[in-house]
Amino acid sequence: MSKMLLLLVLLSLLSPAAEALVNGLALKPTMGWLHWERFMCNTDCDTDPDNCISERLYMQMADMMVKDGWKEAGYEYVCIDDCWPSYQRDARGRLQADPKRFPGGIKKLADYVHSKGLKLGIYADVGEKTCAGYPGSLGYYETDAQTFADWDVDLLKFDGCNLKWTLLGDGYIKMSEALNKTGRSILYSCEWPLYEWPFQKPNYTAIRETCNHWRNFNDVFDSWNSIKSILDWTASHQDIIVPSAGPGGWNDPDMLVIGNFGLSHDQQESQMALWAIMAAPLLMSNDLRDICPRSKDLLQNRRIIEISQDPLGKQGHRSAKGNHFEVWERPLSKNRLAVAVLNLQEIGGPRGFAISGVPSWKVCDPQCNVTLILPQYKEMGVQTKESKLILKVNPSGTALLTVTPINDFGRLHWKNTN
């Protein structure tokens, strides 16, 4: 283990994260549904009424979240992204929904979503215009925050287009203050570091004090190359971003694209497993009205969700890389460990990975209990540090497991050597 990685592990295990935004929200990674990757900026409700950005779409997704077990699994936010507003503010300077696509307005939509026991998220931008060219919040931070509160919105995704990068911090902080001033609990999802990284290393202490989660890297696409690029960026910057994550504030690698078109089932399992290891918000962008059963079962897998929502609130990290494998580890509550072994080879068949190659496998001295979660659930039983267990991992797939020290000696060993 490198000195840098050892320092990272010690920081994540022994040091509390920086002071979080004090609004009592996002104590665990946010779970829900967000329209952007799947539905983008489709505003043509005349020719494509089933898929355009309209109140009907969000009502139907809310219905499906209750009907098909998503709410029960833990997904609670139904989130609007860009392209919902009118191109003009109203006479009082307030944002207003497009009257044709949202005839009832956002307040009525929020009431509908709340009637299902769910929460509504909305989108705005720190700059003059949103990324798609709709009115931005620059000069209207307090007005927009109060408007969202009046509408009973529960989450704000605040994008970073169309503003000089040197003004990003001030804009994000002002909107955070404006949201808190309303007195309504509104989870605050930022993109501050995403837009600052091209110019300088962001101040993650300030970001964590301002936001409940924050995007760092490029938008996700419905492709395996996109997923890999996000994992590569995260691993190469983990010494900077991992210590900032914890209850109240999380690094956001962007949406889950599971159940769409671009990923094989093994690749979908890899995204789900690694997002859980990274303590990432689980915001699906798919069509819940038409999703294949295997993707649904994966997204609702309670054992993966338990890792995601683990109360210790520590983000995992990449701990080893070699021979076209990556090992990612996340410390869990009750002295447990979650491990993901990713096979990066995209040719051939399943490849074997010796479990002893997991850097923290020493937690199994003298003994541990191992549970395999992906690719299929299996109790692997009691193992030791000397176990010769081989994991079979499909090309671009992931083996996900939890490791539980059996006795006090094992727990003490884990605490004192990591």
- Tell me the C-alpha distance between 262 and 269, whole Å: 13
Shared domain for 291 and 323, answered yes or no, is: no
DSSP 71: H
Decide if pLDDT at 411 tops 50.
no
CA angle at 262 for the pair 261 and 263, rounded to the nearest 5°? 105
Helices (H), 151-223: 168-182, 192-196, 204-210
The arithmetic mean of pLDDT across residues 102-126, rounded, is: 98
pLDDT at 1: 41
pLDDT at 22: 83
Shared domain for 35 and 142, answered yes or no, is: yes
Query: Quick one: what percent of the chain has pLDDT higher than 70?
Result: 93
Shared domain for 248 and 366, answered yes or no, is: no
* Residues forming a β-bridge with 282: 31
Element at 157 (helix H, strand E): strand 155-159
In a domain, 81, yes or no: yes
- Tell me the C-alpha distance between 391 and 398, whole Å: 10
pTM: 0.94
Cβ of 219: how many Cβ atoms within 10 Å? 14
Residue scoring higher pLDDT (418 or 46): 46
In a domain, 388, yes or no: yes
In a domain, 3, yes or no: no
Shared domain for 86 and 133, answered yes or no, is: yes
- Tell me the C-alpha distance between 337 and 29, whole Å: 18
pLDDT at 20: 85
Residues designated catalytic: 159, 219
- Tell me the C-alpha distance between 104 and 322, whole Å: 55
Helices (H), 118-167: 141-150
Decide if pLDDT at 412 tops 90.
no
In a domain, 353, yes or no: yes
Q: Final residue of a domain: which of 309, 334, 359?
A: 309
pLDDT at 17: 57
* pLDDT digits 0-9 by tens, 253-269: 999 999 999 999 999 99
* pLDDT digits 0-9 by tens, 352-382: 999 999 999 999 999 999 999 999 999 999 9
Question: In a 10 Å sphere around its CB, with 0-12 CB exposed, 13-18 middle and 19+ buried, how is residue 142 labelled?
Answer: middle
pLDDT at 157: 98
Spell out the residues 6+ positions from residue 289 whose beta carbon is closer than 8 angstroms to its own.
60, 61, 64
- Tell me the C-alpha distance between 341 and 384, whole Å: 19
Is 312 within 8 Å of 331 (Cβ atoms)?
Answer: yes
The arithmetic mean of pLDDT across residues 171-190, rounded, is: 98
Q: Final residue of a domain: which of 279, 309, 339?
A: 309
From residue 10, give the alpha-carbon distance in Å to each of 66, 191, 242, 314, 327: 41, 28, 11, 12, 18
Is 240 within 8 Å of 204 (Cβ atoms)?
Answer: yes
- Tell me the C-alpha distance between 325 and 330, whole Å: 17
From residue 215, give the alpha-carbon distance in Å to each of 98, 119, 188, 235, 289: 27, 21, 12, 15, 27
In a domain, 418, yes or no: no
Shared domain for 125 and 183, answered yes or no, is: yes
Q: Final residue of a domain: which of 278, 309, 340?
A: 309
Q: Which of 15, 13, 7, 16 is nearest to 415 (CA)?
A: 13
- Tell me the C-alpha distance between 327 and 321, whole Å: 6
In a domain, 22, yes or no: no
Give the CATH number for residue 153.
3.20.20.70
pLDDT at 11: 42
Residues 88, 90, 93, 94: is their CA dihedral positive or negative?
A: negative
pLDDT at 6: 43
Shared domain for 184 and 244, answered yes or no, is: yes
* Residue 238 identity (one-letter amino acid): Q
SS3 5: helix
Q: Which of 123, 284, 119, 137 is nearest to 189 (CA)?
A: 123
Domain count, the chain: 2
What are the structure tokens assigned to 295, written together? 């993707």
pLDDT at 407: 77
Decide if pLDDT at 4 tops 60.
no
DSSP 42: -
- Tell me the C-alpha distance between 407 and 418, whole Å: 17
Question: Ramachandran region of residue 225, left (φ > 0), alpha (ψ -120 to 50) or beta?
Answer: alpha
* pLDDT digits 0-9 by tens, 125-145: 999 999 999 999 999 999 999
Shared domain for 258 and 130, answered yes or no, is: yes
* pLDDT digits 0-9 by tens, 240-251: 999 999 999 999
What are the structure tokens assigned to 386, written together? 């000397």
Give the CATH number for residue 400.
2.60.40.1180
What's the chain's average pLDDT?
94
In a domain, 413, yes or no: no
Is 19 within 8 Å of 244 (Cβ atoms)?
Answer: no
Orientation angle between helical segments 141-150 and 168-182, nearest 10 degrees: 40
Decide if pLDDT at 231 tops 80.
yes
Shared domain for 257 and 367, answered yes or no, is: no
Shared domain for 249 and 380, answered yes or no, is: no
Shared domain for 75 and 176, answered yes or no, is: yes
Name which of 10-24, 44-58, 172-186, 286-300 the model is least confident about.
10-24
- Tell me the C-alpha distance between 147 and 398, whole Å: 44
Decide if pLDDT at 335 tops 70.
yes
Q: Which of 218, 251, 184 is nearest to 18 (CA)?
A: 251
**Residue 376 structural domain:** 317-405
Shared domain for 368 and 300, answered yes or no, is: no
In a domain, 252, yes or no: yes
Shared domain for 94 and 170, answered yes or no, is: yes
